[in-house]
Amino acid sequence: MGVRENLHRVRERVRLAAARAGRDPREIKIIAVTKQVPVPSIKEALKAGIADLGENRVQEMTAKMAELPAGVRWHMIGHLQTNKVKHVVGRVELVHSLDSLHLAREIDRRSGRLGVVTRALVQVNVAGEESKFGVSPAELPDFLVALQELERVEVCGLMTIAPYVEDPEEVRPVFRELRRLARRLDGRVPRVRLNHLSMGMTNDFEVAVEEGSDMLRLGTAIFGARIY
């Protein structure tokens, strides 16, 4: 099946999930995750109305930036190494994976050099999985307090990756917890706003929409299975 048809189905499923939750589907942004996706397929997605692309590796992202239209909004969704920050700052719409103060300081420093402000989401490891990056819910309040000192980093929300499970209902509490954290901590720390929730992937996006996500990171649902 083609990218256009896949997107059509995804949008329909988002619309239905939003309706179940009494939400306006227009407030939910679909970020097409393009890791390992060839450029012609990405162009199909852009033609079908996608404006936001997500990558988890800096090198792959910068290579694709060179081949795709300048108007595309890029999202860094994977763990970011400090030595790669210079390739990202000034070039991305949003960093979804702020997971350490060390990283945040480097983003701040590089943003200052370029005279830009970098928007970012704090990645939270809600489920406490060993294999995942992100700050723990318990660390989050202090982390936000530390971030407020960084004038070139604009924190605007939270992101999480739910554990992979057969039945997405099982991860509903993960999404619910991220939303609860955002509500509880938004406005508590000057300059730190938590208006956005990046949660929901191919396997679980409808549940994420029902639980308040406004940014879905979708790869497989749009482009089909990745070949590793």
Ligand X SMILES: *Cc1c(COP(=O)(O)O)cnc(C)c1O
Q: Other CB atoms closer than 10 Å to residue 137's CB: what's the count?
A: 19
61: three-class secondary structure by DSSP: helix
- Residue at shortest CB range from ligand X: 219
> CA 209, CA 13: separation in Å to the nearest integer?
10
Nearer to ligand X, 157 or 219 (CB): 219
Q: How far is 10 from 131, CA to CA, in rounded Å? A: 28
Minimum CB–partner distance for residue 92 and ligand X (Å): 14
To ligand X, the closest distance from the beta carbon of 146 in angstroms equals 23
**124 vs 218, which CB is nearer to ligand X?**
218
Q: Whole-number minimum distance, CB 137 to ligand X, in Å?
A: 18
Smallest separation, CB 150 to ligand X (Å): 23
The one-letter amino acid at 25: P
CA distance 171 to 207: 8
Give the 3-state secondary structure of residue 67. Answer: helix
Q: Whose Cβ is closer to ligand X: residue 151's or residue 169's?
A: 169
Cβ closest to ligand X, residue 136 vs residue 220: 220
Q: Give DSSP secondary structure letters for 3-49.
A: HHHHHHHHHHHHHHHHHHTT--GGG-EEEEE-TT--HHHHHHHHHTT
Q: How far is residue 171's CA from residue 169's CA, in Å, rounded to a whole number?
A: 5
Give 111 or 203: the residue with its C-beta nearer to ligand X.
203
Query: Cα–Cα distance between 213 and 217 in angstroms, integer?
Result: 10
Q: How far is the CB of 181 from ligand X (least distance, A)?
A: 18
Please report, as ranges, the residues that interact with ligand X according to CB under 6 A: 33, 35, 56, 77-78, 161, 201-203, 217-221
Encoding tokens for residue 201?
A: 């992937």
In the complex with ligand X, the residue whose CB is nearer, 118 or 203, is 203
C-beta of 131: minimal distance to ligand X in Å?
12
